[in-house]
């Protein structure tokens, strides 16, 4: 297994730290400004003699604070703004193997197999999948070689997020495995052509796999980004050559010791 260089390790932590710190500082400054404005208004109401310029200053202050708050809020929710994930240290992935298999252009299966090691006692885990096509099954089929895990939908989450509930709580330094399978549909052919994984947990190995009928796709590339919206590229895309199994083209990318917070993504074009 390769070792991460010091520059890569430093960068992955700086990205998350600077992003979180910047947002915190801005909200503290905005909160302080609103507090000063409130104190000024209370002072004006209590004074018997108020000069016209004091009303002017109070009005300008409110306008500036309101404008800054709205701009920052919109900027935080802008879907085109780079997004930086947060780390989770409850467990680590020993291996996560994710495959998207096109039976036809409209009929697809998605399978995610993972082996995890608990870093503390945990009763389950959350898994989020973002599907940009037409339909996705309400709940995945769940299987495990060692346990009888269950799955339930998190209805309060904005994306397709599920709770994997372990048969018994997983103790620290204990392992378990799980397979999740979704049935996907893309009758409108609107899906964004990529398969990826954002590294939010310590991970030893990632495998991304694309299986398609011969001639369905072209320009399959592996890409690495510093943010989950794939706006900040960390390297030039590299072509992935297929392996052929009968009439199936298989594109596979194995990543050993992936860097925390990075977004590893396989992109392609439909013919």
Q: What is the pLDDT of residue 27?
A: 62
Residue 7 pLDDT class (50, 70, 90 cuts): very low
- Given a cut of 50, whether residue 1 has pLDDT beyond it is no
**Which region among 48-52, 100-104, 227-231 has the lowest average model confidence (pLDDT)?**
48-52
- Report the share of the chain in percent with pLDDT over 90: 62
Q: How does the average pLDDT of the chain come out, rounded?
A: 84
Q: What is the DSSP string of the chain?
A: -PPPPHHHHHHHHHHHHHHHHHHHHHHHHHHHHHHHHHHHHHHHHH-S---HHHHHHHHHHHHHHHHHHHHHHHHHH-TTS--------SEEEEEEEEEEEESSSSEEEEEEEEEEEESS-EEEEEEEE---SSEE-SS-EEE-SS---EEEE-TTSSSEEEEEEEEEEEPTT-EEEEEEEEEEE-TT----SEEEEE--S-BSEEEEEEEEETTSEEEEEEEEESSTTS-SBSS--EE---EEETTEEEEEEEEESPPTT-EEEEEEEE-
**Greatest CA separation found in the chain?**
89
The Cα 244–Cα 195 span in angstroms is: 19
Q: What predicted TM-score, i.e. pTM, was given to this entire model?
A: 0.71
What value does the mean pLDDT take over residues 211-226?
97
- Report the share of the chain in percent with pLDDT over 70: 71
- Given a cut of 50, whether residue 3 has pLDDT beyond it is no
What value does the mean pLDDT take over residues 37-44?
67
The Cα 169–Cα 156 span in angstroms is: 24
Whether 215 and 102 have beta carbons less than 8 Å apart is answered as: no
Higher pLDDT, residue 185 or 33:
185
Bridge pairing between strands 205-213 and 91-102: parallel
What value does the mean pLDDT take over residues 226-249?
94
Q: How many Cβ atoms from other residues are within 10 Å of residue 132's Cβ?
A: 11
Higher pLDDT, residue 28 or 105:
105
Residue 13 pLDDT class (50, 70, 90 cuts): very low
What value does the mean pLDDT take over residues 256-262?
95
Higher pLDDT, residue 19 or 166:
166
Q: What is the pLDDT of residue 23?
A: 57
């Amino acid at each position: 297994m390769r070792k991460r260089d010091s520059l890569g390790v430093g960068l992955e932590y700086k990205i998350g730290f600077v992003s979180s710190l910047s947002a915190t500082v801005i909200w503290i400054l905005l909160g302080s400004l609103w507090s000063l404005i409130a104190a000024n208004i209370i002072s004006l109401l209590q004074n018997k003699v108020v000069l016209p310029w004091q009303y002017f200053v109070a009005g300008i202050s409110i306008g500036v604070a309101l404008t800054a708050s709205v701009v920052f809020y919109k900027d935080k929710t802008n879907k085109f703004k780079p997004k930086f994930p947060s780390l989770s240290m409850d467990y680590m992935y020993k291996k996560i193997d994710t495959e998207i298999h096109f039976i036809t252009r409209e009929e697809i299966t998605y399978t995610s197999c993972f082996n995890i090691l608990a870093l503390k006692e945990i009763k389950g885990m959350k898994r989020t999948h973002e599907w940009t096509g037409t339909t996705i099954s309400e709940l995945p089929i769940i299987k495990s070689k060692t346990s009888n895990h269950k799955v339930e939908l998190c209805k309060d989450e904005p994306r397709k997020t599920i709770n994997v509930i372990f048969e018994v709580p997983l103790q620290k330094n204990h392992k378990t495995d799980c397979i999740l399978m979704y049935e996907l549909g893309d009758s409108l052919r609107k899906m964004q052509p990529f398969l990826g994984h954002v590294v939010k947990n310590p991970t030893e190995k990632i495998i991304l796999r694309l299986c398609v009928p011969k001639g369905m796709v072209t320009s399959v590339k592996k890409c690495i980004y510093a943010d989950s919206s794939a706006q900040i590229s960390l390297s030039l895309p590299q072509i992935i050559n297929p392996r052929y199994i009968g009439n199936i083209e298989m594109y596979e990318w194995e990543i050993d010791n992936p860097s925390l917070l990075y977004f590893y993504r396989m992109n392609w074009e439909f013919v």
